[in-house]
Amino acid sequence: MSEPFVPNNQGTKSLSVTTTSGSTVVALDLLGATQLEFTNDGSVTVFVRWGLASVGAATVPAGATGGSYPVGPGAKVVVSIGPSEVTHACAITASSTATLYITPGRGQ
């Protein structure tokens, strides 16, 4: 049986995203988090990646297929993750700036 995303609001982090990759620590141990919710509060696409402390985000060059996971302007997405595989989330924009909210949680 599916259950909706249950956020741990005390674990929400805010990240000011620019054209230089930035990162923040994510607290996955709260509520046994197995998912991350990314909320883009900006007017440009934010490219996100998650992993260990050394993870960095990259934009997708025109015509290329590589890069980080895009979160469109005003969008909210939830991704499932392995808790032992993630300590940080990072993000970058191709232009301008945005604010990204990262909330750990769980659901199926």
List, in order of start, the domains of the chain with CATH numbers: 17-106 (2.60.290)
Question: What tokens appear for 93 in the block?
Answer: 């924009």
Which pLDDT tens digit goes with each residue over 68-80?
889 999 999 999 8
Neighbours of 91 (CB within 10 A): 28
Mean pLDDT of 79-84: 79
Q: What's the CA angle centered on 106, arms 103 and 108, to 5 degrees?
A: 130
Bigger pLDDT: 44 vs 87: 44
Distance CA 91, CA 89 (A): 7
Mean pLDDT of 53-69: 67
Distance CA 46, CA 7 (A): 21
Whole-prediction pTM = 0.86
